Structure 1
Amino acid sequence: MKLATWLAGPAGEALPRQVLWLILTRSISALGAGMTMFAINVWIYEQSRSYALFAALTLLTSVPNLLLGPMVGVIVDRCNKKTLLTACEAFTAGIVLCALAIVMHGPMALWQAGLVILALSVAGSFRWTLMAATIGSLVPKEALGRANGLLQALAGVSEVSAPLLGAVALHALGPAAVFGVDAATSIVAVLAILGLDARLLQPREQRGDVYRFWRDAFFGLRWIGEHAHLRRILWFITGYNVAGGVFMVGFVPHLLTFANQQTLGMALALEGAGAFVGGMLFTRAAIDARKAERLVYATAAGFGAVMTAWGFVNGPAGALVVAAASGMLTSTLIASLQTLWHSLVPPELQGRVFATRRMVSYSLIPVATLASIPLASHVMTPALQAWPSLQLAWGAPEPGGLGLLNSVMGMLLVPACLLAAAWSERQHRARAREHLAAQQDGTQPELALARPAPAEGFSSR
């Protein structure tokens, strides 16, 4: 089956060419960026042999999301998105070329590696919000599921390819080759973005003065706060990210307690392959906002079950199954979440609202990352020592503490997802009854899953 046929809608309608071009461009750039981040992470660990320093520098990637999120959203809504996309890729190319110049004249210092990570994370923060808002502007509502599914599928390809290509290039040719490839992919992305129709990406916001800029920086937070449905989803996904952060930071250390680096490479490749399969399957499903919300809760519950099982795994075969399942579930969850928010948030507000969503939902990931180490070593490991019967499931105390932490987080996540799904269904049925009663009375209230209007008193301009 041809890709165009696979991506066609129920009536055979294709995704807009501009959207396909943009998603493909982003995937090429993501491949180079993934190679660079892999090379820098490996180099940092090989130079320092310090997990604490490695984790601290890794946490730098979350700083721009927390500090710049509100400002990024205002800029995205006020400026031409084609110009911003071009600037992001050009900035990335400039940073990577600076890193290339550094390694060409000698070894890179740790502080220089930290600055490169921070700068690339700033560009990534802008790019994520830009991509989300741009897809919301270019894609018809009925095609949002297909566009988001394709984006996640190609992200899975990058996840598979970037570490493999990065490892080959790093060990065979050195870091200069990795940085050179990344710079080249960014330059290709710039040239491709120049082919987009700028008229389709014009801002719908007036630039306004400095006072309005800072006022609008927190518009997304106020707007979400005025809409209980979105607020409830945001709190749910923020809690989910706590469990996801524990899984993310503990996956590699836990796997290496019973497997070798070859198994790790296969697991990472299968995780990306699972993400590709999940994204492609999502493109074939007819997903509206209601189905997308149900799928968010279902895939989050599935991920909780996978986390629970991951704590018990003590062999390579189980690790490979968990990696593929987690990649598929995460890809489907992200595509569902993006489709849901694209359906509920007006396009002219998506920059500010999506940036706020990212800032809030990612806010607890650093906390989860930092807390996972003492929780595993000072809570879960002593629990295994105090109750030897637990060792039958999770193994010896020293390596088993991290596995027990994953299982506990998964066991908490599953019922939380089921409760959230049940509450959502209850709220939806209540709103449907209100809507039916209002129709009988001759009035027309807003449905729970219709796009909310801007909050009263908050200008959308």
Structure 2
Amino acid sequence: MFSVTPEEFQSNWKPKFFVIFAGQALSLFGSGLVQFALVWYLTQQTGSATILATATLVAMLPQIFLGPFVGALVDRWNRRLMMIAADGAIALATLVLAGLFWAGWVQVWHIYVILLIRSLGGTFHWPAMSASTALMVPKEHLARVAGMQQTLHGLVSMVAPPTGAVLLGLMTTQGVLAIDVVTAVFAILPLVWIAIPQPVRLQEEQGGQRTSYWQDLKEGFTYVAAWPGLLGILVMAVLINFLLTPTSSLMPLLVTKHFGLGALELGLTDTLWGVGMIAGGALLGVWGGFRRRIVTTLLGIIGIGIGIVMTGLAPANLFWLALVGMAVAGLMGPIANGPLHAILQATVRPEMQGRVMSLINSAAIAMTPLSLAVAGPVSDAVGIRTWYVFGGVFCLLMGVAAFFVPAIMNVENNHSSTPTLEPSVPTASVLD
């Protein structure tokens, strides 16, 4: 297999990276179409909230429970081949499901299985792509690239559902699924022809023996635990996801019960949030953020908190204020997430990034079912707006407080002094 060093790739990185980026963008759009098509099918065929909730949970399980374990594999295996295999597995699973639809044999459990396989593929693909980006893109451009990625996600979240609805009016469900297979091919082809840099493992650099998988897994946990700034970021990510995830699920009730409005206004909240996200990603892509990326991230977190508080405090006769709040929250999302992602890509050792990215992502996603389970009863007891106000204020205060935590503020500066971790004997406690 051909290989390339980070320095060789970065000498002319833009044409190669953006060809890969374009392929991944098409695949992401195809995935958005599949998500809409399957949710619509389950809604039309079953009308069951339990089935829809189960489908959502099934899609989360691999990321929650397998993420940290997959991260160690991402750092051991060839990341380019891993992305090709992940995209290929997702495409093959989708093709099988399209065949089941075409034959008229599809059952709900078939959809669950395919969702599980697609999620498993994504669990491998995301950390591999994220860690590879850190080696393909010069450090000074990482925040801008992260802004472009945030803009892409915002566009897909806005464009894919209505496009899926139009396509379902023109063709069958299997036709929509087939489109996703084609977009996956466009994602795979650049990866086949473009060499992607691979990290040099520290032990190999020092002439040591290759460590075992279980040693690598333990090293990932130890690496995060031994770095106070990184650990602080992990705690913040978990708390923010716990507090803000329910705001999306509670929005239909806020619009109907508090504002006394309907589906059109509910759609406007999603639209304004998406427009804000696109604008925030575009702003970050052009601006790049402050020189100290952590400052940009913390200001973004504060801005998200302000937007959520505005939404929760809006009186029943001032729905426009809630729309402004959602737009502000959407705008500040990329401002918070983009630089944070760039910090991790620029400061975490390249051969550790799969483990660190997967661990943080899994911990954050794991809060989703827990927060939804808590937010429902709490909102029923004290009011829907209370969760918005409390969550937004806590998010705002956490962003302000982080400015006074030296470990977090210096997270970009002290990575070189992070202790070098020697290979250790794996213990059962790693799996607990």
TM-score range, shorter chain: 0.7 to 0.9
Counting only pairs closer than 5 Å after superposition, residues 114-133 of structure 1 correspond to structure 2 as 114-133=112-131
Secondary structure of 1:364's partner? Answer: helix
1:376 and 1:402 in contact (8 A); partners too: yes
Partner AA of 1:230 in structure 2: L
Name the structure 1 match of 2:422: 457
Name the structure 1 match of 2:392: 410
Partner AA of 2:22 in structure 1: L
1:66 and 1:359 in contact (8 A); partners too: yes
Partner AA of 1:354 in structure 2: M
Partner AA of 1:213 in structure 2: Y
- Residue 114 of structure 1: how far off its partner (Å): 1.6
Secondary structure of 2:212's partner? Answer: helix
Name the structure 2 match of 1:395: none
After superposition, the Cα gap between the structure-2 partners of 1:286 and 1:330, relative to the gap in structure 1 and judged at 3 Å, is closer
- Residue 204 of structure 1: how far off its partner (Å): 4.2
The one-character-per-residue Cα deviations of 1:288-346 (angstroms, maximum 9, x if unpaired) are 6x622122222112212222222244466445433432222222222121011112202
2:309 and 2:325 in contact (8 A); partners too: no
After superposition, the Cα gap between the structure-2 partners of 1:212 and 1:205, relative to the gap in structure 1 and judged at 3 Å, is same
- Residue 237 of structure 1: how far off its partner (Å): 1.4
- Residue 85 of structure 1: how far off its partner (Å): 1.3
Query: Hey, what's the Cα distance between the residues in 1 that align with 2:209 and 2:86?
Result: 24
1:296 and 1:333 in contact (8 A); partners too: yes
- Aligned match for 2:402, one of 406, 415, 420: 420
Counting only pairs closer than 5 Å after superposition, residues 140-219 of structure 1 correspond to structure 2 as 140-198=138-196, 200-201=197-198, 204=201, 212-219=212-219
Counting only pairs closer than 5 Å after superposition, residues 420-459 of structure 1 correspond to structure 2 as 420-424=402-406, 428=409, 448-458=413-423
Name the structure 2 match of 1:354: 357
Name the structure 1 match of 2:274: 272
Superposition RMSD on alpha carbons, in Å? 2.8
Partner AA of 2:272 in structure 1: L
Secondary structure of 2:51's partner? Answer: helix
After superposition, the Cα gap between the structure-2 partners of 1:447 and 1:72, relative to the gap in structure 1 and judged at 3 Å, is closer
Name the structure 2 match of 1:302: 303
After superposition, the Cα gap between the structure-2 partners of 1:411 and 1:52, relative to the gap in structure 1 and judged at 3 Å, is farther
After superposition, the Cα gap between the structure-2 partners of 1:455 and 1:410, relative to the gap in structure 1 and judged at 3 Å, is same
1:270 and 1:324 in contact (8 A); partners too: yes
Partner AA of 2:240 in structure 1: Y
Unpaired runs of 5+ residues, structure 1, are 1-12, 381-400, 432-445
- Residue 449 of structure 1: how far off its partner (Å): 4.0
After superposition, the Cα gap between the structure-2 partners of 1:181 and 1:253, relative to the gap in structure 1 and judged at 3 Å, is farther
Name the structure 2 match of 1:284: 286
Give the TM-score taking structure 2 as reference length. Answer: 0.86
Query: Hey, what's the Cα distance between the residues in 2 that align with 1:252 and 1:23?
Result: 34
Secondary structure of 2:366's partner? Answer: coil
Secondary structure of 2:330's partner? Answer: helix
Counting only pairs closer than 5 Å after superposition, residues 251-262 of structure 1 correspond to structure 2 as 251-257=251-257, 258-262=260-264
The one-character-per-residue Cα deviations of 1:14-42 (angstroms, maximum 9, x if unpaired) are 85322212222211110000111122122
Query: Hey, what's the Cα distance between the residues in 1 that align with 2:215 and 2:229?
Result: 24
- Residue 179 of structure 1: how far off its partner (Å): 0.6
Name the structure 1 match of 2:100: 102
- Aligned match for 1:375, one of 378, 387, 393: 378
Secondary structure of 1:310's partner? Answer: helix
Partner AA of 2:284 in structure 1: F
1:304 and 1:410 in contact (8 A); partners too: yes
The one-character-per-residue Cα deviations of 1:380-434 (angstroms, maximum 9, x if unpaired) are 1xxxxxxxxxxxxxxxxxxxx2233222222222222211222248x75xx7xxx
Name the structure 2 match of 1:443: none
1:345 and 1:451 in contact (8 A); partners too: no
Partner AA of 2:369 in structure 1: P
Partner AA of 2:120 in structure 1: V
Partner AA of 1:261 in structure 2: A
After superposition, the Cα gap between the structure-2 partners of 1:105 and 1:452, relative to the gap in structure 1 and judged at 3 Å, is farther
After superposition, the Cα gap between the structure-2 partners of 1:452 and 1:363, relative to the gap in structure 1 and judged at 3 Å, is farther
Name the structure 2 match of 1:83: 81
* Identity between Structure 1 and Structure 2 (%): 23
Counting only pairs closer than 5 Å after superposition, residues 12-51 of structure 1 correspond to structure 2 as 16-51=14-49
- Residue 458 of structure 1: how far off its partner (Å): 4.4
After superposition, the Cα gap between the structure-2 partners of 1:329 and 1:458, relative to the gap in structure 1 and judged at 3 Å, is farther
Query: Hey, what's the Cα distance between the residues in 1 that align with 2:41 and 2:105?
Result: 10
Counting only pairs closer than 5 Å after superposition, residues 200-239 of structure 1 correspond to structure 2 as 200-201=197-198, 204=201, 212-239=212-239
Name the structure 1 match of 2:248: 248
1:241 and 1:364 in contact (8 A); partners too: yes
After superposition, the Cα gap between the structure-2 partners of 1:454 and 1:129, relative to the gap in structure 1 and judged at 3 Å, is farther
Count of residue correspondences: 407
Name the structure 2 match of 1:325: 328
Query: Hey, what's the Cα distance between the residues in 1 that align with 2:181 and 2:354?
Result: 27
The one-character-per-residue Cα deviations of 1:117-145 (angstroms, maximum 9, x if unpaired) are 21111111112101210111111111111
After superposition, the Cα gap between the structure-2 partners of 1:320 and 1:24, relative to the gap in structure 1 and judged at 3 Å, is farther
Query: Hey, what's the Cα distance between the residues in 2 that align with 1:25 and 1:311?
Result: 39
1:34 and 1:159 in contact (8 A); partners too: yes
1:79 and 1:202 in contact (8 A); partners too: no
* Counterpart check, 1:341 vs 2:306: no
Query: Hey, what's the Cα distance between the residues in 2 that align with 1:276 and 1:14?
Result: 27
After superposition, the Cα gap between the structure-2 partners of 1:48 and 1:203, relative to the gap in structure 1 and judged at 3 Å, is farther
Partner AA of 1:404 in structure 2: T
1:77 and 1:205 in contact (8 A); partners too: no
After superposition, the Cα gap between the structure-2 partners of 1:286 and 1:323, relative to the gap in structure 1 and judged at 3 Å, is closer
Query: Hey, what's the Cα distance between the residues in 2 that align with 1:302 and 1:72?
Result: 33
After superposition, the Cα gap between the structure-2 partners of 1:140 and 1:458, relative to the gap in structure 1 and judged at 3 Å, is farther
Secondary structure of 2:194's partner? Answer: coil
1:160 and 1:271 in contact (8 A); partners too: no
Query: Hey, what's the Cα distance between the residues in 1 that align with 2:166 and 2:92?
Result: 24
